[in-house]
Amino acid sequence: MRCTFSGPLGGVAKCDFAIPTKVAPRILIEAKGYGATGSKMTDILGDIRTIISAKRHDTAFLFFTDGLTWKQRKSDLRKIIEFQNTGGITRIYTYALVEQFEADLKQIKAEYRL
Number of structural domains in the chain: 1
Tens digit of each residue's pLDDT (9 = 90 or more) over 33-57? 765 555 566 688 999 999 999 999 9
pLDDT of 32 over the 90 cut: no
With vertex at residue 63, the alpha carbon angle to CA 105 and CA 18, rounded to the nearest 5 degrees, is: 60
Its pTM stands at: 0.88
Tens digit of each residue's pLDDT (9 = 90 or more) over 55-86? 999 999 999 988 767 677 788 889 999 999 99
pLDDT of 103 over the 90 cut: yes
What's the chain's length in residues?
114
Range of the domain at 82: 3-111
Where residue 49 falls (left for φ over 0; alpha for ψ -120 to 50; beta otherwise) is: alpha
pLDDT of 18 over the 70 cut: yes
- What integer pLDDT is reported at residue 86 of this predicted model? 96
